[in-house]
Structure 1
């Protein structure tokens, strides 16, 4: 009699799904990345700009928490009744925002202790970006309703909405070359990049009064990926790094009309990308449970950190040489970006594999059946609708 006949946990499951459960159960015991365990899936992470030893996390259980990395202390900030999808903190550090499945955005004012609810989206809030225009804090949000909203934080009402995407808006980023040379904060206006599950990256000119899609974007949106673009990050040259459900992260060169000149291939959807330019590194998060560090110049893989046992959902930098990853496995993990430490990690894993050591070095991934581009796009769309 098979295990599926004797264990209720395995009723009505395929052999592949049972193997997946067993593999994840074994891998969950690993201590790589000094895991900090939370009670539910972690959907977003944000660095605390005033304390490199702490981050904020958004949980599927509706909890917003501040996590002290050194001790693992979990400090509740607010609680909501639906999964929290995204986080943003105003440049002044006064207000923290969380996007939610219930279509609302919630804010916490650290100075006054007051909270507010921003209502304007008609579907899940997928991404948030807090910035400043002419010294005025503003919040920008994107949703599954294919809409971008620029918010008036004094009234908690929308200033205006931007529409152009056909599907969910998944990522937002400010073009650093549209900012005043003397400051890293926007002046009277700036260019906003938006990424979507329609695979397009669009560009918008935004100020306090209104916004419009840039003529070059209307003429030709950036479409280097085959399906959903989840995340974007700029480097100091103003080039763009992107993460997509087509299993790639890419480097798009501005001077060549956003042509892709570096392709970072993965085994599954790439959910986030982080640029550590001072170290010459790019870090990616993947649905295949990996946190990968790449050489920025060559595109060569430096290390594949394997500690999570479910999809990795976000990355954030903590200090100079640490990247923090979060996952729907409910853990937060810390990984070194120091090349000497990376070399030591790689050597230890190789030694453990050769000697038949700890389970974390021996875990093998369950191979997933290859899907066509069309099937991948359809699956990505379904995921975007469900997230």
Structure 2
């Protein structure tokens, strides 16, 4: 796509009094020079780079690694050799391989995440979710999907997990630990509405330990659906929002609700879409480089030959 053809027939967002584009009337645009504070110690530390620029190599397998989750000083890596490996990040030392015997995956491990208490949830091409204990010595099989697992998500402040699959469904799991009892191996809700395999999911950052507010999901036909997790119903269904697969979904906001409840979706078409949940609308389309500063609620994006910064 040529730079001057970037937007094609898509209209640029309306302009505010400063002459800069705005997402909607309640959003204020500002230039980077006037909106970003001067670099502080954290910026300077990052600019210097790591103390050991060479890093270290941890050999885990002769097969490709497919996914990774970080929590504290631990990295959990899912591999195409059907195993999950844990590594101590500060020391760069291998910890354990979660695989073998009757436990674990029998196919590629395609997605992985940590729970707040240190347990690990992994999904694979074997249609199975594995919930590993903190020691990695045993796991619970969560069997409800009928095709490869594409994604798993767990909010940082709770034990409700989401899984998406090529079977076109999203399942909600309650993985709350119960003293002396195992968590339920059956999903508590099923979200069905996609006509193609679900490739990406995101959870609203505004949620509590025992409930979720909004869920976004995207599939291979380019459609994005916003769900009400409390009622398992569709709030917004945009058909073929992206050309090609929806490849990524994230939520921009703060858990205390002080920031915006905004979802970002990326696709094979190279477009980043911004979804304002409170307004139930697709706010705008953005191309090229995107940078997020979550704590300060900045969204920087580039139109052809210009760079703009939005503060929510």
Following TM superposition, by how much is the alpha carbon of 1:337 offset from its aligned partner in structure 2, in angstroms? 1.1
Please say if 1:211 is aligned against 2:183. yes
User: How far did residue 321 of structure 1 move?
Assistant: 6.3
Distance 1:75 1:269, change over 3 A: farther
Could you report, residue by residue, the CA deviation over 1:155-174 in whole angstroms, capped at 9, with x for unpaired residues? Answer: x3333111111011111123
Query: Is the alpha carbon distance of 1:77 and 1:251 closer, same or farther for their aligned partners in structure 2, counting shifts above 3 Å?
Result: farther
Which runs of no fewer than 5 residues in structure 1 stay unpaired? 1-22, 28-50, 54-67, 177-183, 308-314, 323-335, 351-387
Which residue of 208, 216, 225 corresponds with 1:250?
225
* Structure 1 residues 112 and 152, CA gap change in structure 2 (3 angstroms): farther
Instruction: Give me the whole-angstrom Cα distance separating, in 1, the residues matched to 2:230 and 2:79.
Output: 37
Match of 2:12 in 1: none
Structure-1 separation of matches of 2:183 and 2:140: 8
Please state how far the C-alpha of 1:199 moved relative to its aligned partner: 0.8
173, 197, 200: which one pairs with 1:228? 197
Distance, in Å, in 1 between the alignment partners of 2:217 and 2:86 is: 28
Quote how far apart the aligned CAs of 1:347 are. 5.9
Matches of 2:167 and 2:262, distance apart in 1: 28
The structural deviation recorded for 1:99 is: 0.9
Return the match for 1:129 from 113, 136, 154.
113
Q: What SS is found at the alignment partner of 2:303?
A: helix
Give the 3 Å change call, closer, same or farther, for CA 347–74 of structure 1 in structure 2. Answer: farther
| Number of aligned residue pairs | 244
- 1:266 equivalent in structure 2: 242
1:337 and 2:294 aligned: no
Q: Does the 8 A contact of 1:203 with 1:213 survive in 2?
A: no
Residue 197 of structure 1: how far off its partner (Å): 0.7
Closer, same or farther: CA 215–157 of 1 in aligned 2, 3 Å:
closer
TM-score by length of 1: 0.54
Please give the root-mean-square deviation of Cα atoms over the aligned residues, in Å: 3.4
- Displacement of 1:230 after TM fit? 2.0
Larger RCO: Structure 1 or Structure 2 (Cα < 8 Å, ≥ 6 residues apart)? 1
* Cα distance in 1 between the residues matched to 2:55 and 2:63: 19
Distance 1:139 1:248 in 2: 30
Whole-Å Cα distance in 2 between the matches of residues 52 and 202 of structure 1?
A: 39
Give how far 1:70 is off. 8.5
- Conserved 8 A contact 2:225-2:236: yes
> Who is 2:281 aligned against?
299
- Between the aligned partners of 1:257 and 1:192, the Cα distance in structure 2 is 14
The match for 2:73 is 94
CA contact (8 A) 1:248 1:263 kept: yes
1:291, distance to aligned residue in structure 2 (A): 3.3
Matched residue SS, 2:84: strand
Q: Is the counterpart of residue 196 in structure 1 residue 165 in structure 2? A: yes
1:342-353 counterparts in 2 under 5 A?
342=301, 345-346=302-303, 348=305
Higher helix share: 1
Q: CA deviation at 1:74?
A: 7.7
Alignment of 1:1-387 (within 5 A): 75-79=55-59, 80-90=61-71, 93-111=72-90, 113-115=92-94, 116-119=96-99, 120-133=104-117, 137-154=118-135, 156-174=136-154, 185-186=157-158, 190-206=159-175, 207=177, 209-214=181-186, 216-217=188-189, 221-235=190-204, 236=206, 238-263=213-238, 265-277=241-253, 278-296=259-277, 297-306=279-288, 319-320=294-295, 337-338=299-300, 342=301, 345-346=302-303, 348=305
Question: Per-residue displacement from partner, 1:197-242 (whole Å, max 9, x unpaired)?
Answer: 101112223236523255753xxx2111112112222111521111
* 2:242–2:268 contact (8 Å) kept in structure 1: no
CA deviation profile, 1:238-266 (whole Å, cap 9, x unmatched): 21111211211221123443223252711
Unaligned runs of 5+ in 2: 4-40, 208-212, 254-258, 308-312
Residue-by-residue CA offset, 1:97-144 (whole Å, 9 max, x unaligned): 1111111112211355431222121100011110134xxx11110000
Q: TM-score, normalised by structure 2?
A: 0.66
Task: Tell me how far apart the structure 1 counterparts of residues 42 and 233 of structure 2 sit (CA, whole Å).
Answer: 33
